[in-house]
Amino acid sequence: AQSVTQLGSHVSVSEGALVLLRCNYSSSVPPYLFWYVQYPNQGLQLLLKYTSAATLVKGINGFEAEFKKSETSFHLTKPSAHMSDAAEYFCAVSGPYGGSQGNLIFGKGTKLSVKP
Amino acid sequence: GAVVSQHPSWVICKSGTSVKIECRSLDFQATTMFWYRQFPKQSLMLMATSNEGSKATYEQGVEKDKFLINHASLTLSTLTVTSAHPEDSSFYICSASRGPTYQETQYFGPGTRLLVL
């Protein structure tokens, strides 16, 4: 079965420091991969997505993620954290499996805290 | 583009009543809409998938008679929680996509927080 694992339920960085949020997936077929951000009491906003084109994907707000097939990973990075980046981040996968209609399978999320 | 709205954003109701939540795609036609449920500090759990003009497909363990989904047009889907009970209190989030396949990006609404007293 397809699954997504986000290592670290809570990550804390200092403002200006590198942000690294880890995501590993399991999929028997080439997946589509997504990172979403959720601010408190809000829905999810798409940060970026991988759709089998370039392996390095650039998203909004300075975030990017690299698809590494050999490592089955899709880690999210940002060179310099900003206070406004504090939120919950979800990695998700979708793919042509099980007759699904584009259903997203989410990781459990990683809460990012940014210290001044 | 690709904005999805939900109404209401907050609802408090008494046990036994029914609550309707609307999900609208404001600037695109959504062939497929999804309904998720999120408990505090947890991830999103898919409840059901609906295609315009068709019956919704419910995930295992989701009572279709309790969570009625209607996708009557390409811009509107509704979720009705019938005879709500306190255990139905949760954050309900919808998403919409232009097509039913996995290649289509899902755009999420801001969510509806339901509190059943």
pLDDT at B109: 93
Q: What is the spatial distance between Cα B106 and Cα A2, in angstroms, rounded to a whole number?
A: 18
Closest-CA residue of chain B to A107: B43
Residue B101: pLDDT band (50, 70, 90) is confident
- Mean pLDDT over residues A71-82, rounded? 96
**Joined tokens for residue B11:** 């609802």
- Mean pLDDT over residues B60-68, rounded? 93
Hey, is the C-beta of B18 within 8 angstroms of any chain A C-beta? no
Find the length of chain A: 116
Count of Cβ atoms closer than 10 Å to residue A51 Cβ: 16
Residue A97: pLDDT band (50, 70, 90) is low
Residue A20: pLDDT band (50, 70, 90) is very high
pLDDT at A40: 84
Contact A63/A17 with Cβ under 8 angstroms?
no
Contact A83/A92 with Cβ under 8 angstroms?
no
Hey, is the C-beta of B100 within 8 angstroms of any chain A C-beta? yes
Contact B100 A101 (CB under 8 A): yes
Contacts of residue B44 in chain A, CB cutoff 8 Å? 44, 90, 104, 106
Hey, is the C-beta of B106 within 8 angstroms of any chain A C-beta? yes
Residue A99: pLDDT band (50, 70, 90) is very low
pLDDT at B8: 96
Residue B72: pLDDT band (50, 70, 90) is confident
Q: Does the structure show a pLDDT above 90 at A31?
A: no
What percent of chain A is predicted at pLDDT more than 90? 66
pLDDT at A104: 85
Of B83, B85, B108, give the one whose Cα is nearest residue A104.
B108
| Residues sharing a CB contact under 8 Å with residue A51, sequence separation 6 or more, in sequence order | A32, B103
Contact B37/B44 with Cβ under 8 angstroms?
yes
In this complex, the residue of B42, B106, B113 whose CB is nearest that of residue A104 is B106
Contacts of residue A90 in chain B, CB cutoff 8 Å? 43-44
Span B84-98, pLDDT tens digits? 999 999 999 999 998
Contacts of residue B6 in chain A, CB cutoff 8 Å? 43
